Amino acid sequence: MRNLLLKPQISSCTLVKMTKSHYLCPKLFTMKESLFGKTLAELQELVAELGLPGYTAKQITDWLYKKDISSIDEMTNLSKKARELLNEKYEFGLTAPTKVQVSIDGTKKYLFPTIQHKYIETAMIPERDRKTVCVSSQVGCKMGCLFCFTAKQGFQGQLSAGEIVNQVKSIEEASEVSNIVYMGMGEPFDNLDEVLKSIEILTADWGFAMSPRRITVSTIGIIPGILTFLEKSEAHLAVSLHTPFNEERQKLMPVQVAYPIEDVVAEIKRWDFGRQRRVSFEYIVFENLNDTPLHAKELARLLDGLKCRINLIRFHPVPGTPLKSPNDETIQHFKELLNKKGILTTIRASRGQDIYAACGLLSTKELVKN
Ligand code: SF4
């Protein structure tokens, strides 16, 4: 297998020295099924089918999720026969990024290939005390939000749990990742099963054993997905709000027609979040659109009685939209308005603006090239 392992091709703008040796050239994707991305239960079934001892499944999860190898041949505590049987039908299943852009503020944007020459983006955001990875959950997106460049790609396909977790495992900072946010390309609850499976792999003792409190999944507000997610996972929830007014939100986010924000918040209010689980609302501030005292008043009414936080986000302008970003003073003023209404509000620091920070820009550029 070693001769198939290539280091990632890095673009000219890349300053990163990739040191891992587990990269598989995307051009050499095989038709074999990946082991990476399988749960312990799936591996137990798999080893039973191959006639291998039951404990082999746990040995395999250790190699997949706890160690730093890249081929089945390196699973040295498995018998030779077991490795041969696995190699016949399966591959290890890691995929390297093909491009990395590095911002002057240290933020990195990784471009990963998926099947059929499509691409997804993953951001790594370093802060003083943490390294957060922002993963994609779909290739493109079908939700059509006006302010989003990924929306302009349209929907290109779903990511498997393995492809989601690969975005954490196959970046240079893999061993230092402290937090994961599902805020990259795609709507996580439009790919709910694979997203939940990826969270299982990230949080299970046999997997990456991360605390679910270090994981946040962001949705535009798909109610059935929210309810299943709240029931089946313990990770934090973030909801993209952007305006409390129906007509305004419909123009920004077509999902408002199917799932009005009023209904989304009503469902969330019914849920007992316990002491440690968090719900927050993402609010991109657009110039002359959603930052008036009336918006603050309506937000206070909408969120009344819910323990939550609003994160104000600067808009990264994307080509082809009329939307603009307000200046810092306007955002600060809106934050104060919300704080006065009793809503805990923070302004999210703007990161990586010099490297196509708006989600979807980099992958669209690659898509157009192919
Ligand atoms: S903002 Fe999210 S849900 Fe909306 S189109 Fe973009 S990726 Fe999809």
214 phi/psi in degrees, rounded to 5: -105, 10
Task: Indicate if ligand 1 lies below 6 Å from the C-beta of 143.
Answer: yes
Q: Look at 8-17, 50-59, 127-136, 331-340 and tell me which has the smallest mean pLDDT.
A: 8-17
Task: Give catalytic status of residue 13 as yes or no.
Answer: no
Task: Indicate if ligand 1 lies below 6 Å from the C-beta of 150.
Answer: yes
Q: Name every residue whose Cβ is closer than 8 Å to that of residue 132 and which is 6 or more positions away in sequence.
A: 124, 125, 177, 178, 179, 180, 181
CA distances from 37 to 2, 122, 166, 202, 258 (A): 21, 17, 8, 10, 32
Q: How far is the CA of 82 from the centre of ligand 1 (A)?
A: 43
pLDDT computed for residue 10 by the predictor: 33
Q: Decide if pLDDT at 367 tops 80.
A: no
Task: Indicate if ligand 1 lies below 6 Å from the C-beta of 187.
Answer: yes
d(CA 304, CA 342): 9
Task: Indicate if ligand 1 lies below 6 Å from the C-beta of 220.
Answer: yes
Q: How far is the CA of 154 from the centre of ligand 1 (A)?
A: 10
Q: Decide if pLDDT at 340 tops 80.
A: yes
Closest atom of ligand 1 to CA, residue 219: 3
Residue nearest to atom 7 of ligand 1 (CA): 186
Residue pointed to by tokens 């408002």: 256
pLDDT computed for residue 28 by the predictor: 46
pLDDT computed for residue 294 by the predictor: 97
pLDDT computed for residue 35 by the predictor: 98
What is the pTM for the complete model shown? 0.90
pLDDT computed for residue 222 by the predictor: 98
Pairing of strands 309-314, 279-285: parallel
State pLDDT tens for residues 7-60: 333 333 333 333 333 444 444 455 799 999 999 999 999 999 999 999 999 999
Task: Indicate if ligand 1 lies below 6 Å from the C-beta of 141.
Answer: yes
Q: How far is the CA of 80 from the centre of ligand 1 (A)?
A: 46
pLDDT computed for residue 276 by the predictor: 86
Of 141, 163, 359, 366, the active-site residue reads 359
Q: How far is the CA of 272 from the centre of ligand 1 (A)?
A: 27
What kind and span of H or E run contains 303? Answer: helix 293-303
Task: Indicate if ligand 1 lies below 6 Å from the C-beta of 183.
Answer: no
State pLDDT tens for residues 252-291: 999 999 999 999 999 999 998 877 899 999 999 999 999 9
Q: N- to C-terminal Cα distance for the chain?
A: 28
What's the whole-number average pLDDT of the chain? 89
pLDDT computed for residue 357 by the predictor: 57
Q: How far is the CA of 214 from the centre of ligand 1 (A)?
A: 22
Task: Indicate if ligand 1 lies below 6 Å from the C-beta of 222.
Answer: no
| Count of C-beta atoms within a 10 Å radius of residue 337 | 19
Task: Give catalytic status of residue 121 as yes or no.
Answer: yes
Closest atom of ligand 1 to CA, residue 190: 3
Task: Indicate if ligand 1 lies below 6 Å from the C-beta of 148.
Answer: yes
User: 108 near 16, Cβ under 8 Å?
Assistant: yes
Of 91, 121, 282, 366, the active-site residue reads 121
Residue nearest to atom 6 of ligand 1 (CA): 148
Task: Indicate if ligand 1 lies below 6 Å from the C-beta of 151.
Answer: yes
- Long-range contacts of residues 58-67, Cβ cutoff 8 Å, at least 24 apart: 58/206, 60/35, 60/86, 61/206, 61/207, 62/206, 64/35, 64/36, 64/38, 64/92, 65/169, 65/201, 65/206, 65/207, 65/208, 66/208
d(CA 63, CA 71): 9
Residue pointed to by tokens 């969270």: 199
State pLDDT tens for residues 172-214: 999 999 999 999 999 999 999 999 999 999 999 999 999 999 9
Residue nearest to atom 3 of ligand 1 (CA): 187
pLDDT computed for residue 351 by the predictor: 72
Q: How far is the CA of 220 from the centre of ligand 1 (A)?
A: 7
Q: How far is the CA of 136 from the centre of ligand 1 (A)?
A: 10
The listed range with the strongest mean pLDDT (3-7, 212-216, 272-276, 359-363) is 212-216
